[in-house]
Structure 1
Amino acid sequence: MKRLPPLPALHTFLITAQCCNFTRAGEQLHITQGAVSRQIAGLEEHLGYALFHRQARGLSLTEQGQALYPRIEQVFDLIGEAVEHASIRRTPLQIKAPTCMLRWLLPKLMTWQKLRPDVPVELTSSVHHGIDFRRETFDAAVVYSPLPGPKRVGQHLFDELLTPVCAPHLLQGPDAINSLRDLEQHTFLHPSRDQRDWAQWLSVAGVEASAIRQSQYFDTLDLAMTVAAQGNGVAMGDCSLIGEDLKEGRLAMPFDLTVRTGAAYMLVSSPSQEPSAPLRELMDWLVAQATTPA
């Protein structure tokens, strides 16, 4: 097998074939016109045939040059793709999400890593429900959008859908929760001091907020869910976020009534730059997961 020509010389040929001019090729390659001419001459000597017709008004490819050009172009395209692919493998996508989303998002990302080990993802949780891409270096984020309407940005994951949840054993025995009045005998678990979620659900259920007698407050919805699963009270859960807990029997719904608040969880990326191909693929996959029935 004949020894392959030097890669720099092939790259010089590619650029010169695109320009058909030694001077412009030199400008793109940041070398002199003479250096381009010498590299092309050396490549032609190595190959044993001419690549360009030298004409008064410029250059034109010979028949051999025309045959070689598209293949060399393809080779350098493949090299560029390989370099980009290797870079993507080394740089995980950085995703931010509120802690309440972890019950839904973490299992999804674990599945994603099995499907696409070549696109690693690092997840950062926060008690804050927003993102400031000007100050935070994340590729994408899940945000809580409290109000409906056209001002929402990003891709819709799911709406907030509230319902009480508790440990399964609280639905059995002498103190079982069988009616709305039975709630008064249990501690109400709140993810915030304003009791907004419980007040909204009780209002739709036709129960006065005064039914809330014993309360325990937490910094996050996720922590309230954990305490509820331990049997230490009844929490207001989001049906979209606790599907796995219900399926695995860690939590149970004492009532069928669910209340749509108008809020939603959205998936967003930086508005100042176009998402990379791997990020677009991940975001589209997560949206598909959110719209697929469990």
Structure 2
Amino acid sequence: MSTRLPPLAAVRAFEAAARHLSFTRAAEELAMTQAAVSYQVKLLEERVGSPLFTRQARQVALTETGQALSTAATQAFRLLTEGFEAARTGGQATLSISTIPTFAANWLALHLGSFQIAHPSIAVRLETSTRMVDMAQENFDIGIRTGAKGEWPGLTSHMLMRAAFTPMLSPKLAESIGGVHQPADLLKLPIMDAGDPWWEIWFGAAGIDARENLAARPRSQLGSQAYEGRAAVAGVGVGILTRPLFATELADGSLIQPFDLVGDDGHVYWLVYQTQRRNTPKIRAFRDWILKEIGAATGDEATASR
């Protein structure tokens, strides 16, 4: 069987060029010249018997055959990488997760210990970022994203929790005005990130037109719920936050939720991974664990998938 395989150097050059859609960038990644990458791709095209790229003045595009081979090549190199990593670490797999900062700090970091106890042979690497990584091209096994529908090409998604929101504040800040007894009382206090659309949605659901009041306030932004929550605990102002992500602060009394009313703009926290890798053991282990853990923490069955 091995005699039927094309030269690995040719496949590697093609995979990099297909991933970047650029022979120049592939050459930079592989420490080769652009001419060498082009030569290796030509060798592979001769072996396949048809063009893999359409070449234009300053860009290349994959042909239908090239697209099919690119998917297979990327998957093969990923499997090789995982195999070498397992060999290097004595069989220990590394699960790489791309997640948004608030979910990482306020939920995942607090629960991840139980996953590592249940799966001691799997190491975890987290990257927190608000950008949407390309799961097919970047070295991540799992992603945590927010979105309304959870539909991304080539990815399987599982609903973790709804990103419903409600005002929260420190007890001391509430006491500074004699307590918060009705939604309008919140407008007597500093509002963090008054330009956040969640505020208008929540006050509207409470029957209050707060647009003029909110528009007159400073447009300070802290960048994530994690930071807004810390500021709310410190008494800086009222934050509009997602309850499951602040269960610890609500339980210990450092934050209070004065009203049961929650707003919902349709966004959901999703677990995502490449559909073609759905049976990879470390991905399956994390998926099963987090869906069960989320369900236990929120009281919901977090098993919806696409």
Q: Give TM-score scaled by structure 1 length.
A: 0.64
State how 1:108-127 maps to structure 2 within 5 Å. 108-127=111-130
Identity among equivalent pairs (%): 21
Measured in 2, the distance between the counterparts of 1:117 and 1:250 equals 34
Aligned to 2:204: 203
The alpha-carbon deviation at position 282 of structure 1 amounts to 1.1
Measured in 2, the distance between the counterparts of 1:279 and 1:153 equals 12
1:224 equivalenced with 2:228 (yes/no): yes
Amino acid across the alignment from 2:143: A
Amino acid across the alignment from 1:189: M
Residues 272 and 257 of structure 1: CA distance in aligned 2, closer, same or farther (over 3 Å):
same
Measured in 2, the distance between the counterparts of 1:107 and 1:138 equals 21
Kept in 1: contact 2:93–2:282 (CA 8 A): no
The alpha-carbon deviation at position 154 of structure 1 amounts to 0.5
Structure 1 runs of 4+ aligned residues shifted over 4 Å read 83-89, 149-153
Kept in 2: contact 1:127–1:220 (CA 8 A): no
The alpha-carbon deviation at position 173 of structure 1 amounts to 4.8
Select which of 101, 104, 107 maps to 2:107. 104
Measured in 2, the distance between the counterparts of 1:250 and 1:275 equals 42
Kept in 2: contact 1:186–1:214 (CA 8 A): no
The alpha-carbon deviation at position 88 of structure 1 amounts to 7.4
SS class of match (2:110)? helix
Query: Structure 1 or 2: larger strand share?
Result: 1
Select which of 90, 94, 97 maps to 2:96. 94
Aligned to 2:175: 172
SS class of match (1:144)? strand
Aligned to 1:48: none
Structure 1: runs of 5+ lacking an equivalent: 1-23, 28-82
Amino acid across the alignment from 2:127: T
- RMSD across aligned positions (CA): 3.0
Amino acid across the alignment from 1:250: S
Select which of 227, 236, 240 maps to 1:236. 240
SS class of match (1:171)? helix
Cα deviation code 1:94-115 (max 9, x no counterpart) = 1110012120111111222233
State how 1:1-294 maps to structure 2 within 5 Å. 89-102=91-104, 103-128=106-131, 130-145=132-147, 147-148=148-149, 153-190=156-193, 194-208=195-209, 209-212=211-214, 213-215=216-218, 216-294=220-298
Residues 199 and 181 of structure 1: CA distance in aligned 2, closer, same or farther (over 3 Å):
same
Kept in 2: contact 1:161–1:238 (CA 8 A): yes
Structure number with greater Rg is 1
